[in-house]
């Protein structure tokens, strides 16, 4: 169970809702994985009886928490306006904040991200910032009012996994009490398990599931990997060592002269 801004979520898996072959496959992926949070692009969908109402009904039937996002926003003004629209449409103060600074890598704009986070937090939003693993940036985001951090594993949609293990481990050590979610870049369940083994609290996926040959099976695979990785972390795993150590005790072994 994970706590985001005082809300308890049973699953550590968060799924995006774009690019699935069909609404039925999207729904099946959520059901088989048990994902507890769905991210929704405000630019693409709407809530209630407005445009996109059929999609909203589908998500509502799944019984998951909705996390609207500001995907595709490249300026503070655009992101803040989109977040305000999301609050009205989906009746939630939660917002996944994206302020993109580089068109090719989709890397966040650190300066715009902090400014937008500060503005939204002051307006009562509970901000989930999509960021890099930079410690200084993340510290500024926490100072701006963010109580969750969502560093990327790799650029969105690449499937490259955890590109900077040192940086991600450092982030976990530096913010022991802040929920950390690996957001973007994961391609395989093993990569999600590795994030859990480092002590991360959740992962957010979209492309790796939606673009799989069998999205529902892949979603379930990620869910199981998260459980395994979290169990390993909580079990206090052994530390790596350079030299071999026998697993069979030598005490009592016969020695021939």
User: Is 96 a known active-site residue?
Assistant: yes
Q: Binding site annotation covers 185?
A: yes
Question: How many CB atoms sit inside 10 A of residue 254's CB?
Answer: 4
Q: Binding site annotation covers 184?
A: yes
Question: Which position among 65, 96, 147, 253 bears the catalytic label?
Answer: 96
Q: Binding site annotation covers 232?
A: no
Q: Binding site annotation covers 206?
A: yes
Report the candidate in 111, 198, 201, 211 with the shortest Cα–Cα distance to residue 156: 211
Torsions phi, psi for 65 (to 5 deg) = -75, 135
DSSP category for residue 242: S
DSSP H helical segments within the chain, as ranges? 23-33, 53-62, 76-90, 110-122, 135-143, 165-174, 189-197, 207-210, 215-234
Report the candidate in 190, 217, 192 with the shortest Cα–Cα distance to residue 204: 192
Q: Binding site annotation covers 101?
A: no
Residues annotated in a binding site for 1-deoxy-D-xylulose 5-phosphate: 157, 184-185, 206-207
Catalytic center residues: 96
Residues annotated in a binding site: 157, 184-185, 206-207
């Amino acid at each position: 169970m994970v706590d985001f801004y005082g809300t308890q979520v049973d699953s550590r898996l968060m799924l995006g809702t774009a690019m699935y072959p069909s609404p039925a496959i999207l729904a099946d992926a959520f059901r088989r994985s048990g994902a507890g949070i769905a991210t929704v692009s405000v630019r693409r969908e709407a809530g209630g009886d407005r445009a996109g109402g059929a999609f909203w009904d589908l998500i509502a039937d799944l019984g998951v928490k909705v996390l609207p996002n500001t995907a595709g926003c490249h300026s503070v003004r655009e992101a803040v306006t989109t977040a305000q629209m999301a609050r009205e449409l989906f009746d939630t103060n939660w917002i996944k904040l994206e302020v993109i600074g580089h068109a090719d890598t989709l890397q966040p704009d650190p300066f715009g991200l902090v400014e937008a986070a500060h503005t939204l937090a002051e307006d009562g939003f509970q901000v989930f910032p999509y960021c890099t693993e930079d410690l200084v940036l993340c510290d500024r985001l926490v100072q701006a009012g963010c109580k969750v951090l969502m560093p990327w594993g790799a650029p969105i949609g690449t499937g490259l996994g955890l590109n900077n293990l040192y940086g991600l481990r450092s982030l976990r050590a530096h913010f022991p009490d802040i929920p950390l979610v690996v957001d973007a870049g994961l391609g395989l369940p093993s990569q999600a398990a590795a994030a859990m083994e480092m002590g991360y609290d959740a992962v957010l996926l979209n492309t790796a599931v939606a673009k799989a040959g069998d999205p529902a099976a892949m979603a379930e695979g990620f869910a199981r990997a998260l459980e395994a990785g979290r169990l390993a972390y909580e079990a206090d795993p052994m530390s790596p060592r350079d030299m071999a150590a026998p697993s069979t005790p030598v005490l009592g072994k016969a020695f021939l002269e």
